[in-house]
Amino acid sequence: MADITRRRALGGLAATLALPQLARPDSAWAATDGLRVKTRAGVVRGRMAEGVRVFTGIPYGTAARFAAPAPARPWTGEWDATRPARAAPQPPGMDPLSAIQAEDCLQLNVWAPAAAPRGARYPVLVFVHGGSNETGWSGWEVIAGNRFAAHGVICVTLNYRLGALGFLELGHVLGRGYAGSGNNGLRDLVLGLRWVKDNIAAFGGDPRAVTLAGESSGARNVCALMGTPAADGLYARAMVFSGGAHTVHTPEEAAMFASAVVTRLGGAERLLVAPFPALVEAQVLARRGWPRNLPFRPTVDGAFLPQVPLARIAQGKAPRVPLLAGSNANESRLFLNEAQAARPLWSQSVSNEPMTRMAALNRAYARAFPEWTDAQRHWRLLTAEEYGMPTLQLAEAQAGHGAPVWRYRLAWPAPGGPYKGHSPHVLDLPLTFDHVTLPSMAQMFGLSAADQPIAEAWHMAIVSFVKGGAPGSAGMPAWPRFNSQARATMVFDRVSVVENDPDAVERLIWQDTPPERPIAARRR
C-alpha cells in the first residue's frame, strides 16, 4: 500500500500550457526570436507559454541498457522542443503517466525568462524529481518551472533512468563491463549537469550559478551527488527537500537485490534482451520481497561513489556550497493511514535503520511521548527515520566545515483533502513551484487560490536562495544560518517563526540510541 501511495503522490500529468502571442524579442536575440537556441548538439525550437520560454524533451544523453551514458548525438535541422520529454520506464501508479515511456529517456526541460538578460546572466535551478527512484517524470505539472522563470530564474528538470535500468548493480552478473551499473541513474544526472554547464548560457543562464535541488528520492540523489567526485564543480548551491545523505547500498546489498531481480526475470540471459515491461515487472516483484523500503538506491562502489555521502560531507571532502535543507512535519502520513500506522512497525516502511534499533527507538518514543497513540508515535518515528533526522544530520555535516546552511521545517497544514490538518510528504512541492491552484493539488491537499499568499512567501524565499542570497521573503522573519550549537530552524507555517533546536527531544533519543554498526557496514 505504501508503494502505491508513493506512486500516486509522485506520479502526475504533463503541464498543459496555453500558447499566448509571442512576446517581442530582445534585440540580442532578434535573429532567432529567443525560441530557437543553438546547443552543442544542434538547434532546439521551443515555445512561449504564460509569458516565458519553454523547451521540453531536449536530449542530453543516450545510453545502451545498463551502460554508462554518453552525450546526446548531434542532429541536423531543428529539434522540436515543444513535445513532452519521454519518461523512464516504470511501473504504473494510481495516476496515469501521460508521457511516452522509453529506455531512451535522457531528456530535459528548460523554462527561461522571455527577455534576454541584461548584464549578469540568469541563475539556474536544476531540479531532480522524486518517486523512490522507481517512478516519476520531469514533466509532472507540479514541478513545471514557469513560475521560477517568471521571477528571473532558469529552471531545468530532467529525466534519469529509474528502477533496474538506473540502480541495479550487475557487474557480478554480466561481467566487468557492467560494473557500476547500480549508479547509472547518478551518472545520468552528472551528465545532465554537464549539459547545463555547456549549454545553459545559450538560454541566457549562468553556468557558474547553478543550484542543484531535489525532493524525496530526488533529494537523496542530490545528496549522493554531493558524495560523488564526478559532480564536483557542476553546481554552486544545493537544496534538499525531504532527503538525506546515507540511503545507499553496500556492494553486498546491491548484489543481493540484483540477484532477486534476475531470478524474477527468469535468468541473467534475459537481462539484455527482455523488453523493458518484463524488466519492470521483475523489479516490482523483487521489491515486494525486499525487507526494506527504497531498494533502488545508489551503491557505495569505492569508485564512482567512494563512500557514504554523509561521511564525505562530514569529512569536509564534499564541495562546501551553500545548502538549504529540511523536511515536512508529518511526512509519513502520506504513506500510512491511521489503521496501518497503528500496527507494529513494518520493515518495508523503514528506509535506513535495522529493525532492532527501530524497536528500541519505538520504546524510547513511547516513554518520551506517552500521550500519543500507537499510530501517532509510529508516524512521528517513521518521519524522523526517513526525513527529519537525515536532513538534520546533513545540515550539521555541511555546516561543520564552514558552509552556509539554512534549515527549515514545513509545519503549514494542508487545508483540505485526505491529509487535512497535517504537513505530509510532497506538500512542499506546490509551494516551492508556486502551483497551488492545480486541480490535482486541490484533490490531494485541498489547495486553492486562497493559499496563494503562503505559496508566494515560500516560493520567493527559494528564489532568493537560488539568486545567491539567504532564503527569505516578505512573508517570513529573518532566516539565520544553521549551526550545531543553536540549530536555528525556520518553522514555516501560517505565521512562520525561527526556533532553535526544535527537534531537541527526538534528537537526543536518536543520539542515545546508537546504531549497531556503521551504515556502510550493515548487511541483511
Those residues whose C-beta lies under 8 Å from the C-beta of residue 260, and which sit 6 or more positions away, are 286, 289, 290
> d(Cα 448, Cα 162) in Å, to the nearest integer?
32
Question: In whole angstroms, how far apart are CA 101 and each of 12, 343, 457?
Answer: 14, 37, 36
Cα separation of 366 and 389, whole Å? 18
Strands (E), 315-404: 323-328
Three-state DSSP at 384 gives: helix
Q: How far apart are CA 273 and CA 290, in angstroms?
A: 25
Model confidence at 24, pLDDT cuts 50, 70, 90, reads very low
The answer on pLDDT for 15 being more than 70 is no
Average pLDDT over residues 1-17: 35
Angle at 212 between CA 207 and CA 216, to 5 degrees: 160
SS3 33: coil
341: region left, alpha or beta (phi > 0 left; psi from -120 to 50 alpha): alpha
pLDDT at res. 516: 59
- pLDDT (0 to 100) of residue 27: 34
- The answer, yes or no, to whether residue 110 has pLDDT greater than 90, is yes
Three-state secondary structure call for residue 403: coil
Residue 17 pLDDT level (bands cut at 50, 70, 90): very low
Q: Which of 269, 281, 213, 215 is CA-nearest to residue 242?
A: 215
Q: What is the chain's Cα-based Rg?
A: 22
pLDDT of 16 strictly over 80: no
- Give the number of other CB atoms < 10 A from CB of residue 143: 25
Q: How far is Cα 381 from Cα 437, in angstroms, rounded to an integer?
A: 32
Residues facing 325 on adjacent strands: 240, 407
Domain ranges of the chain: 2-6+19-31+50-521
Query: Per-residue confidence at 4, pLDDT binned at 50, 70, 90?
Result: very low
Above 60 in pLDDT, residue 26? no
Which of 215, 331, 353, 386 is an active site residue?
A: 331
Q: Does 216 qualify as catalytic in the annotation?
A: yes
pLDDT at position 93, please? 65
Catalytically annotated residue among 246, 249, 422, 425: 425
pLDDT above 70: percentage of residues in the chain = 91
Using CA atoms, how far residue 217 sits from 14, 102, 127, 469, 495, in Å, is: 20, 21, 12, 26, 29
The model's pLDDT over 338-354, given as tens digits with 9 standing for 90+, comes to 999 999 999 999 999 99
C-alpha torsion angle, residues 172, 177, 180, 181 (rounded to 10): -90
Q: Which residue has the cell 557514504?
A: 308
Q: Is the pLDDT of residue 175 over 60?
A: yes
Specify which residues 87 forms β-bridges with.
101
Distant-in-sequence, close-in-space partners of 371: CB < 8 Å, separation ≥ 6: none
Which range among 114-128, 239-253, 319-333 shows the weakest confidence by mean pLDDT?
A: 114-128
DSSP code string of 489-513: EEEESSS-EEEESTTHHHHHHHHHS
Q: What is the DSSP string of 180-197?
A: TGGGHHHHHHHHHHHHHH
In which band, very low, low, confident or very high, does the pLDDT at 379 lie, cut at 50, 70 and 90? very high
- For residue 32, the model assigns a pLDDT of 53
At 425, phi and psi to the nearest 5?
-50, 140
If DSSP states are collapsed to H, E and C, what string results for 67-87? CCCEECCCCCCEEECCCCCCE
- Whether residue 259 is predicted with pLDDT greater than 60 in this model: the reply is yes
Candidate list 216, 349, 423, 496, residue with the active-site label: 216
DSSP assignment of 215-254, as one string? ETHHHHHHHHHHT-GGGTTS-SEEEEES--S---B-HHHH
Superfamily of domain 2-6+19-31+50-521: Alpha/Beta hydrolase fold, catalytic domain (3.40.50.1820)
Q: Which three cell numbers stand for residue 483?
A: 549551526
Catalytic residue check, 425: yes
Residue 304 to residues 115, 182, 187, 258, 489: CA-CA distances in angstroms? 39, 10, 9, 18, 33
pLDDT above 60: residue 492: yes
Residue 95 has pLDDT above 60, yes or no: no
